């Protein structure tokens, strides 16, 4: 069974008051770089970017990290990615602190973990 980690980039970046709001693209790039070198148990990491953050990382695959640019609301893209992976039979974990999004991804069979959990892994 493939293990997929889906990262709500806006939520993870926003969980640390490090000035990310001054350079959303740079914050997304730093998160992407951290995910590329992270030693995790996940076969695939899906990084979902929205808004200005999309300027920091091109859409596509870099090793085990696949970056997705949300066309609309990032949460809808995250749910769609979780549902697609769950339908393939993958074990899916979504990183977000957004309780409504946690409920939505739980409805498609994904587990939700907090941004602090992910940041501790990096």
CATH number, domain with residue 106: 3.40.50.1010
Q: What is the pLDDT of residue 19?
A: 78
What is the pTM (predicted TM-score) of this model? 0.95
pLDDT at 1: 83
> What average pLDDT does the segment 24-51 reach?
95
- In order of 8, 19, 21, 120, the CA distances from 95 in angstroms are 6, 21, 20, 12
Alpha-carbon gap, residue 18 to 88, rounded angstroms: 37
Tell me the C-alpha distance between 106 and 52, whole Å: 28
Q: In the prediction, which pLDDT does 99 show? A: 95
pLDDT digits (tens, 9 = 90+) for 67-93: 999 998 899 999 999 999 999 999 999
What's the rounded mean pLDDT across residues 53-80? 95
Check residue 29 and give its pLDDT: 96
Structural domains in the chain (count) = 1
What mean pLDDT is reported for the chain?
94
* Residues 65, 47 contacting (CB under 8 angstroms): yes
What is the band of 37 on the pLDDT scale with cuts at 50, 70, 90? very high
- Quick check: 17 pLDDT over 80? no
56: domain range? 3-121
Confidence of residue 108 (pLDDT cuts 50, 70, 90): very high
Whether the CB-CB separation of 35 and 29 falls below 8 Å is answered with no
């Amino acid at each position: 069974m493939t293990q997929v980690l889906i990262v709500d980039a806006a939520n993870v970046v926003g969980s640390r008051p490090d000035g990310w709001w001054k350079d959303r693209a740079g914050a997304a790039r730093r998160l992407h770089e951290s995910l590329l070198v992270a030693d995790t148990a996940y076969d695939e990491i899906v990084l979902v970017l929205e808004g200005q953050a999309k300027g920091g990382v091109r859409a596509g695959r870099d090793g085990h990290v696949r970056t997705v640019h949300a066309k609309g609301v990032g949460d809808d893209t995250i749910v769609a990615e979780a549902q697609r992976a769950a339908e393939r039979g993958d074990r899916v974990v979504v990183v977000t602190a957004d309780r409504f999004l946690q409920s939505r991804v739980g409805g498609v069979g994904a587990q939700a973990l907090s941004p602090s959990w992910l940041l501790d892994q990096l």
